Amino acid sequence: MRLPRTHSIAQIEGIIVFRRGLRTGADEYNSLISEVRSKKHLSEKNNVKPLSGTSFIAKDNIAFPEGYTTCASKALSNYRSPFKATVIQQLEDAGSDLIGKANLDEFGMGSSNVESYFGPVINPAFENEKRIAGGSSGGSAAAVRSELSTFALGTDTGGSVRLPAAYTGVIGFKPTYGRVSRWGVIPYAQTLDTVGILGRDIGVVKQVFNTIDQHDEKDVTSVPEKIRSDWSGLPRLAEIKNTIIGVPEEFLVEELSSYSRQVWYDTLNALRKLGCTIKPVSIPSIRKSLSAYYTIVSAEAASNLSRYDGVRYGFNSADTPGTVHDIISRNRSSAFGQEVQRRIILGNYTLSSESGDHYLKATEVRKMLVKELNQVFSTQHMLFSDEKPNASGCDVLISPTYTSIPCTLDEYHNMNEENFLSSYTNDILTVPASLAGVPAISVPYQKQNTPNTKIPEAIQIIAQHGNDEFLLDFTKELMMRF
Ligand code: GLN
């Protein structure tokens, strides 16, 4: 039986790649939805653990042994993971049910969720048009927006949780780098990859974070207990009216649409009315962040993806004979999509001697950014104990999350054909927090009774390294008032 392609089916089209071991086509959406409902019902009766009664969907670059873990790539379309990622185990132990895996831009590379082997995710926030959901965690964001699950996991390397959350009108939280285990998360760029949480309710996002905010000895980048205990001494939010909010002038970029400027302006105005102090600040390295990010990320991606040669790992197309070189190049050319191939070429060039010292220059920008960012915060960065905090600094920074509203799928294809770099500029507001490893969140901000209330509006809030609690508490207060 094929389901009629009704509006609601079209809305969730593309979100789910797999449902617990099965490939999901239109026929399966129905059973998926009834399964979600019955699980909710079941769990509600058995409310004994912190996350009992909740269900979640994980981005399909997070390993799970049932079904496939594909990274939305042909290279891994038949890959079955022998193990379960730590984050999934932690959530299941806390009583939550994993009900599916979500679509993404291939290996997390993209900001549209159009660059997937399984086709694009369509943004459920727009009723009559096919607009992008944002990426790369577009499936996770769309699933949360469509209420398929209580929350979803995504990964954020340069904005991939925050941007789709903003485009679909849900919350998207990227914790401090290293707080949440990445064991079992297929790497894109390991100095940046961070597991993030998407949800509709800030209380749920906090609860999920509390569950997965743990040291994991299997992950070498997991922050050790000693630093975690230093973090627990950082100041917490007292009253929202005492908050000092920094507004980095470098976020006022040319690409910022008047729509996003207005959302930013309205948010700051509303916060001022609540009694917060609004303070312009300057972080000059933000201007160089996007180029530093794309240099670092492509180099790391090229190195990580070199394992998919179709011999040891990944899709193997080779039934015609040839040299090892022929076989591997045939496998890789047919297994990876255009965007992934582009990053591999860019990254291998960056790492080659011909490129000069691009990679080193990018890491210098990154170091400078960390330092400048640290100087605008009023609290101590626990990894730089010899640098003193700025006594008259800020508690949080605020900017818009996106430069302009999500485009239609047709606009995306046209833009990409003309110049693929145009989609890279979508990340201009989100990459600085990723490069610095600091926590950041995208929060839906909906003014009441404006002609545009149908378009998801969003702001980004950034906090000092390790002070995720302040960020979440501030967000909660803010959401109660807006
Ligand atoms: N759009 C960015 C990129 O393609 C961010 C991706 C991400 O955060 N995974 O690199």
Encoding tokens for residue 16? 């789910």
Which active-site residues does the annotation give? 59, 136, 160
Residue 237 has pLDDT above 90, yes or no: yes
* Antiparallel, parallel or unpaired: β 171-174 and 440-444: antiparallel
- Stretch among 317-326, 369-378, 379-388 having the lowest mean pLDDT: 317-326
Q: Is 72 in the pocket of ligand 1 (CB under 6 A)?
A: no
Mean pLDDT rounded to a whole number for the chain: 89
Q: Which residues contact 265 (CB under 8 A, 6 or more apart)?
A: none
Q: Please write the tens of the pLDDT for every residue from 76-105.
A: 998 999 999 999 999 999 999 999 999 999
Residue 26 has pLDDT above 50, yes or no: no
**8 Å CB contact between 137 and 442:** no
Q: Which residue has the tokens 């508490």?
A: 473
137 CA to centre of ligand 1 in angstroms: 9
**8 Å CB contact between 158 and 108:** no
Q: Which amino acid is at 5?
A: R
Q: Is 439 in the pocket of ligand 1 (CB under 6 A)?
A: no
193 CA to centre of ligand 1 in angstroms: 9
pLDDT band for position 29 (50/70/90)? very low
Q: Is 156 in the pocket of ligand 1 (CB under 6 A)?
A: yes
Q: Is 185 in the pocket of ligand 1 (CB under 6 A)?
A: no
Q: 397 forms bridges with which residues in the sheet? A: 246, 462
Maximum mean pLDDT: which of 21-30, 404-413, 443-452: 404-413
Residue 253 has pLDDT above 90, yes or no: yes
Question: What single-letter DSSP state applies at residue 110?
Answer: -
Quick count: other Cβ atoms within 10 Å of Cβ 411? 12
Measured CA distances, 312 to 73, 273, 480 (Å)? 16, 60, 52
pLDDT band for position 450 (50/70/90)? low
Q: Please write the tens of the pLDDT for every residue from 416-449.
A: 888 888 888 889 999 999 999 999 999 998 765 4
* Buried/exposed code over 9-41 (b: 16+ C-beta within 10 A; e: otherwise): eebbbbbbbbbeeeebeeebbeebbebbeebbe
98 CA to centre of ligand 1 in angstroms: 24
Give the H or E element holding residue 99: strand 97-102
Residue 21: predicted pLDDT: 45
Residue 35: predicted pLDDT: 56
Q: Which residue has the tokens 């205990």?
A: 229
Residue 87: predicted pLDDT: 98
**What number is the average pLDDT over the span 10-14?**
52
Q: Is 140 in the pocket of ligand 1 (CB under 6 A)?
A: no
Helix axes 86-93, 202-212, angle to 10 degrees: 110
**What number is the average pLDDT over the span 132-142?**
95
Testing ligand 1's pocket by substitution, the residue of 105, 111, 401 carrying the most ligand atoms inside 8 A of its CB is 111
Q: Please write the tens of the pLDDT for every residue from 153-187.
A: 999 999 999 999 999 999 999 999 999 999 999 99
| Dihedral angle computed from the Cα positions of residues 115, 404, 122 and 92, in that order, rounded to the nearest 10 degrees | 80
Residue 9: predicted pLDDT: 38
425 CA to centre of ligand 1 in angstroms: 11
pLDDT band for position 318 (50/70/90)? low
Q: Which residue's CA is the nearest one to ligand 1's atom 10?
A: 109
Domains, in order of start, for the chain: 12-236+433-481 (3.90.1300.10)
**What number is the average pLDDT over the span 309-335?**
84
Q: Please report, rounded to a whole number, the percentage of residues in the chain having pLDDT higher than 70.
A: 89
171 three-class SS:
strand
Residue 45: predicted pLDDT: 54
Q: Is 154 in the pocket of ligand 1 (CB under 6 A)?
A: no
**What number is the average pLDDT over the span 26-48?**
53
Q: Please write the tens of the pLDDT for every residue from 367-381.
A: 999 999 999 999 999
Residue 273: predicted pLDDT: 94
